Amino acid sequence: MTMEQIHDAGPPVRAGRQARAFAGGEAIARLVAALFTMAGWVLFVAGVLLPVVAVRRLQFWTDEPSLLAIIASLLESSDYFLAAVVLTFSIIFPTLKLGYLSLISAAGPSATPQIAIDHMGWLGRWSMMDVLLVAIAVFAAKTTGFASALSQPGVWAYGGAVICSAIAAEVLKYGIRRRTAPQAAS
């Protein structure tokens, strides 16, 4: 058999009760991944819109910017490159990853090859929460006077979105690996 014939043959076919049990396991994995993805979307939107840090200056003035407000502040202060980096890695890539997770968890088993999961892993590596934290530190450092910074609900929601998307990705990887794994001789 040539490599092309092996590729065209698709995943191994299971017979009888084992096939039904396996199909149910993959369906459960997709359902769990879809639930974590939906939770990730809700937390991500909250993380972007809610205040991520409270910066108190001289005990009189307090700023509580959201991630979007931080990006807007960077743009207003002509820090275009930093604003673009924060926008790209803290909003655009996580949005792409959650969208990709949504598509994969909703697709049927035959529509999700292992390469789709590999691409998702690439997106996950580029959607980094530490970029958000650097932006918060830069924003806090740019304030004048004596300042203190406290985390706000937005940073917790953003962190929850990162965790939910990571769990959804791992559940999908497990379901697809299990589907395509070769069966041991019984």
| Per-residue pLDDT in tens (0 to 9) along the chain, 186 residues | 454 544 444 454 444 444 444 456 777 888 999 999 999 999 999 999 999 878 777 777 778 889 899 899 989 999 999 899 889 888 888 898 899 888 888 876 666 666 666 666 666 666 665 556 656 666 665 555 566 777 788 888 988 998 898 898 888 888 776 666 555 544
C-alpha distances out from residue 52 to 69, 103, 140, 150, 165, Å: 10, 29, 11, 9, 19
**String of b and e for 54-91 (b: at least 16 CB within 10 Å)?**
ebbeeeeeebbbbbebbbebbeeeebeebbebbbebbb
Q: Which residue has the tokens 């529509």?
A: 111
Tokens representing 134? Answer: 């650097």
Q: How close are the terminal C-alpha atoms of the chain, in Å? A: 23
Tokens representing 2? Answer: 């040539």
pTM: 0.72
